[in-house]
């Protein structure tokens, strides 16, 4: 049986960059005129990468099934996002929604 080589960092970075290029503003200024505001695209992108990495970690280092690892990765990623939001001056539910979208996409990517 041929084993596929895991290319997590390359795919994760490519997906994060694609999200930023397609939907975010072209600057990191406070201008929110893009299809998706830069802040939300960044939250989704980072959560996508974290979701992929945590799913990969759970699959390689635990005895969890694929679905259990996906759930654990999703919850872990949202917990990281929530910790970031609690450290901000104001908790932003829009950022948490973007974190959820990014995490969901990240754990569903087959690699």
Is position 18 within any domain?
no
* Whole-model pTM over 0.85: no
Tell me whether residue 75 is in a domain: yes
Q: What are 27-83's pLDDT values in tens digits?
A: 444 555 556 677 888 888 889 989 999 999 999 999 999 999 999 999 999 999 999
Is 97 within the bounds of a domain? yes
- Report, as an integer, the average pLDDT of 4-8: 54
Provide the number of structural domains found in the chain.
1
Compute the distance between CA of residue 101 and CA of residue 111 in angstroms, rounded to an integer.
18
Q: In which domain, by residue range, is 104 found?
A: 38-111
- 6-15, 42-51, 80-89: the lowest-pLDDT one: 6-15
- 14 domain-assigned: no
Residue 13 counted as domain residue: no
Radius of gyration of the chain (CA): 15
In a domain, 73, yes or no: yes
pLDDT of residue 29: 47
């Amino acid at each position: 049986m041929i084993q596929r080589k895991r290319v997590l960092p390359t795919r994760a970075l490519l997906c994060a960059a694609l999200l930023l290029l397609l939907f975010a503003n072209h600057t990191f200024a406070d201008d929110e005129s893009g299809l998706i505001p830069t802040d939300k695209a960044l939250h989704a992108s980072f959560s996508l990468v974290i979701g992929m990495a945590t799913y990969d970690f759970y699959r390689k280092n635990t005895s969890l099934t694929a679905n259990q690892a996906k759930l654990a990765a999703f919850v872990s990623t949202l917990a990281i996002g929530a910790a970031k939001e609690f450290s901000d001056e104001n908790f932003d539910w829009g950022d948490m929604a973007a974190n959820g979208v990014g995490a969901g996409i990240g754990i569903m990517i087959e690699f």
